[in-house]
Amino acid sequence: MSHKWGFVILFFSVVCGIGAYIPHRYHFFNENKTWSEAQTYCRENYTDLATINNMREMKKLNHTLMKENAKKAWIGLQREGPGKWQWSLADQTFYRDGDNYTNWRSGEPNSVGDNPYCVEMYKDDGKWNDGNCLNSKFFVCYEEKNTITNKYVVINETKSWHDAQIYCRENHTDLISVRNQTENDEIWKVINSSVGGVWIGLFNDSWKWSDQSNSSFRYWSSNKTSGGLNCSAVSESEKRYWSDVDCTEKLPFICHENKLILVKENLTWREALRYCRNHHHDLVSVRTEEMQLWVKEVAQNASTEHVWLGLRHTCALGFWYWVNGEMICYQDWAPGNGTGFEDCSHEERTGAVQSGGERKWISLPQSKKLNFICSTYEDLFY
């Protein structure tokens, strides 16, 4: 893969419970392309146009764009399809399927008025209403670091929804998210003394990530929330907040590359190893619990019951090792696998992860034909 104009930013996302984001790295390209040309380039040579999942990733990206002196660069967010309600704090535990909590006042949301894309909580009954994002209201921030009693911070200032979001992210963690009735009551209690309604972190938009991931993380400049244009870029003139841009403009761009890739072809272990080394980096080595969580996430989309890992047994010496030459430290074997005697009478044993159930490791003869997981680059952080 050519890195002629590329500049590589390498890092890992934070794990936050179920649905942690697969680690990836960004590549900046100082070539002018339209948004779709850039998308094609990124999909062909990497994973996709950049997805930004949280503040940590945004800070890394900002830092590198500054070093590269990039004025404006495409990211993977595009306006598409109907809108949906999502939380400002893009931690997937806030909108896990099946337990989405809402507390709309009856008849809401009714999409009445200008920009009815932001949500306020009424002080009189704690119920919600969709309101004009540009209205100035008091707001409640979420403070991750504090104890249970003051994780909700009511700000004694009025701001538009977007400026409230910027304020909360700079001074606390984010605008407040509400996951259940208990939390709603707690927040309602702390806003009781304020005037009218307060902004909470729920908003409605129709922006989608090019790689189909569902991260609700947004970082719009307060000046550029509804310019009506359908593609998005990070721009220096907006202090590297995001702004909407005409998709046919020609700009430099940022691709991202996922660390792990599931190959849905049925190959023997040796063929899979050769495939990964020719097309990517290697068969995946799972050296930490974090990596195993990501492997489980990827493995569940396989078409075979088991999925090859870079795990290999040596009959001559009687132990398991990773193909990249490392010893096995972290392990997640299914009961009866990996730790006892291996049947070496016919062929070498190799290791796979189950694609369903507990998704633990099992020992299999290497001639089985399975899907497999490649790593796409060497990680320097272990």
**Residues interacting with ligand NAG, by CB under 6 A?**
2, 4, 30-32, 40-41, 44-45, 62, 66, 82-86, 95, 97-98, 100, 111, 116-117, 156, 166-167, 170-171, 179-180, 182-183, 188-189, 192, 204, 221-223, 238-241, 264-266, 303-304, 334, 336-337, 362
Tell me whether residue 166 or residue 309 sits nearer to ligand NAG (CB atom).
166
Q: State the nearest-atom distance from the C-beta of 135 to ligand NAG, in Å.
A: 15
Tell me whether residue 228 or residue 325 sits nearer to ligand NAG (CB atom).
228
Q: List, in order, residues 6 or more apart from 135 with CB less than 8 Å away.
A: 160, 161
Rounded to whole angstroms, how far apart are CA atoms 215 and 217? 5
Q: List, in order, residues 6 or more apart from 100 with CB less than 8 Å away.
A: none
Q: State the nearest-atom distance from the C-beta of 327 to ligand NAG, in Å.
A: 22
Got the DSSP string for 330-366? Answer: S--BPTTSSSS----SSS-EEEEEESSTT--EEEEET
Cβ atoms of 372 and 263 closer than 8 Å: yes
Tell me whether residue 86 or residue 376 sits nearer to ligand NAG (CB atom).
86
- Please tell me whether the peptide bond between 109 and the residue prior to it is cis, using omega within 30 degrees of 0: yes
Q: List, in order, residues 6 or more apart from 342 with CB less than 8 Å away.
A: 313, 315, 318, 349, 363
Tell me whether residue 185 or residue 378 sits nearer to ligand NAG (CB atom).
185
Q: State the nearest-atom distance from the C-beta of 229 to ligand NAG, in Å.
A: 16
Q: State the nearest-atom distance from the C-beta of 325 to ligand NAG, in Å.
A: 25
Q: State the nearest-atom distance from the C-beta of 378 to ligand NAG, in Å.
A: 20
Tell me whether residue 28 or residue 241 sits nearer to ligand NAG (CB atom).
241
Tell me whether residue 117 or residue 207 sits nearer to ligand NAG (CB atom).
117
Q: State the nearest-atom distance from the C-beta of 178 to ligand NAG, in Å.
A: 9
Write the CA distances from 380 to 47, 59, 62, 259, 260, integer angstroms: 20, 20, 21, 12, 15
Q: State the nearest-atom distance from the C-beta of 62 to ligand NAG, in Å.
A: 4
Handedness of CA 160, 163, 165, 171 (dihedral sign): negative
Q: What are phi and psi of 322, to 5 degrees?
A: -90, 145
Tell me whether residue 34 or residue 324 sits nearer to ligand NAG (CB atom).
34
Q: Pull the structure tokens for residue 92.
A: 């997937």
